[in-house]
Amino acid sequence: MIIEFGVFFTVLSIAIITYWSRILDIWGVILATILGFYVYLAGGFHLFLSLLLFHIFGGIITRYKYLKKRSRGIAEDKDWSRGWKNVLSNGFWVAAYLLLHPEGFVASLGGLATAIADTFATEVGLLSRKKPRLITNPLREVEHGASGGVTAIGYLGGILGIFLMLLPETFSNISVEIVMTTIGGGIVGCTVDSILGATIQGLYRCEVCNSLTERKIHCGARTKKERGFRVIDNNIVNFISTGIGGMVSLFLFMAPLSI
């Protein structure tokens, strides 16, 4: 009981720090505190640390060269703070898999790997000097910030994010098999995220500054839909892709190995 109280106090303290640092807004802090404590109780201390590192490194990479990204009109809205929808879309399956399957720990790592790979790939890719390529049509260049656009440096950034997220697991005698299935699930999930972004996610054009955006309101005016469905936003795409990334990791882990 004392240990659990200490962990909850630690989670709450870190949440307050992330709010003060503007990594999360107040509702993001509340939800992250609840999810974080649940993940500790159901998944253990090392998985909790991995979840914590996702939020910390995700906030850092989002803030990195923020002004440069904002000048292009491609930085996140609400400054760099992440809200409760972002926390839920990235963290739901991490928590749910622990409840839904006996090997849920593996699936949770895959979902978390997808979330951090997508965050790093997006934020690093925004700084690429080369224009992104549309994942469904690699010959077509798209604007920075366009959903479904991918870059080589973005993918490398995504893999780096997965390795950073796995740092705590290296101290828990985690098997090489779990590490490899986590990386595989994270890469597949991140790729699925890009495919959904290029096909069904709503993408809009601001008629004031002519930039592409995922927002329905930009520069104080309503944007015009370019493609996708209005009901499918980035949070829904994250929700789907993290779920798939977790399932892929679980499948790879449980599938019989054949030589």
Q: Residue 212 is inside which H or E element, if any?
A: strand 212-213
Q: Residue 204 is inside which H or E element, if any?
A: strand 203-205
Q: What is the pLDDT of residue 66?
A: 66
Over the stretch 171-223, which tens digit does the pLDDT of each residue have? 777 888 999 999 999 999 999 999 999 999 998 888 888 877 778 887 888 88
Look at phi and psi of residue 139 and say left if phi exceeds 0, alpha if psi is from -120 to 50, else beta: alpha
Q: What is the pLDDT of residue 78?
A: 43
Q: Which candidate, 59, 93, 94, 92, places its Cα nearest to that of 78? A: 59
Q: What is the pLDDT of residue 3?
A: 66
List the chain residues with pLDDT less than 50.
77-80, 258-259
Indicate the pTM of the whole model.
0.87
Q: What is the pLDDT of residue 199?
A: 94
Bridge partners (DSSP) listed for residue 137:
134
Say if CB 162 and CB 186 are below 8 A apart: yes
Q: What is the pLDDT of residue 15?
A: 76
Q: What is the pLDDT of residue 65?
A: 64
Q: What is the pLDDT of residue 116?
A: 95
Say if CB 143 and CB 211 are below 8 A apart: yes
Q: Could you give phi then psi for residue 89, rounded to 5 degrees?
A: -65, -30
Residues 6+ apart with CB under 8 A from 168: 46, 47, 49, 50, 53
Q: What is the pLDDT of residue 20?
A: 80
For the record, the structure tokens of 180 come out as: 């490899």
- Distance, in Å, from the CA atom of 132 to the CA atom of 19, rounded to the nearest integer, reads 32
